[in-house]
Amino acid sequence: MADQEFDAQLARMFAEHPPFPDQAAFARRVEARLDRGWGLRRMVIGVLGLGGGLVAAGQGLGGNLIGRLLSASHASVNVAQQTASSAPDVLALLGQSWGLRFPSVGIEVIWLVLGLLAVAAALLATRALEEF
């Protein structure tokens, strides 16, 4: 038998394999392990996120972050009030030019909106990471 012919025959024989009667059960075991791995990954991410959040909260409290934010906020309010007394309100000016009336808002509301935007961005980023 020629070597090349024998090689081809051997490769064909290796390509053939006995059918395993439990191939469906094997596939289910693979799927189950994939699901388990996926669930575990989500749990680890969740636990790490919670841990990170707790650490951040702890650091924030320990560093008197809220107090400093409040004082910064008050300082901003003072600056805004001084500016408003000496310069025309930008929002009011814009409103006038477009024929709209904006309610006057405090600096706390702006902080709140910025905070909500940050949370929304974080949620979007999490969702994007999950999808891609």
Partner 1 sequence: MGGPPGAQVAPTKPLTGLHDVELAQLAMTADRQAFGELARRHGSAVRALLRRMGADPTLADDLAQDAFLAAFEAITDFRGEGSFAGWVKRIAARLYIKRWRRRAELDPAPEGAEQADETGADGLTDRRLDLDQALKGLSGPERLYVSLCYGAGLSHTEAAEATGAPLGTVKSHVKRALEKLKRRMAADDAAPLPDPDEGRLAHG
Long-range Cβ contacts of 44-50 (<8 Å, 24+ apart): none
Q: Which range binds partner 1 by CB under 8 A, 33-41, 57-65, 87-95, 96-104? A: 33-41
Residue 41 engages partner 1 in binding (rule: CB under 8 A): no
Residue 42 engages partner 1 in binding (rule: CB under 8 A): no
Q: Which of 4, 23, 86, 97 binds partner 1 (CB under 8 A)?
A: 23
In this complex, which beta carbon is closest to partner 1, that of residue 34 or of residue 56?
Answer: 34
Between CA 79 and CA 86, with CA 80 as vertex, the angle to 5 degrees is 90
> What is the full DSSP assignment across 36-62?
HHHHHHHHHHHHHHHHHHHHHHHHHHH
Residues at the interface with partner 1 (CB under 8 A): 1, 6-7, 10-11, 13-14, 17-20, 23-24, 26-31, 33-35, 37-38
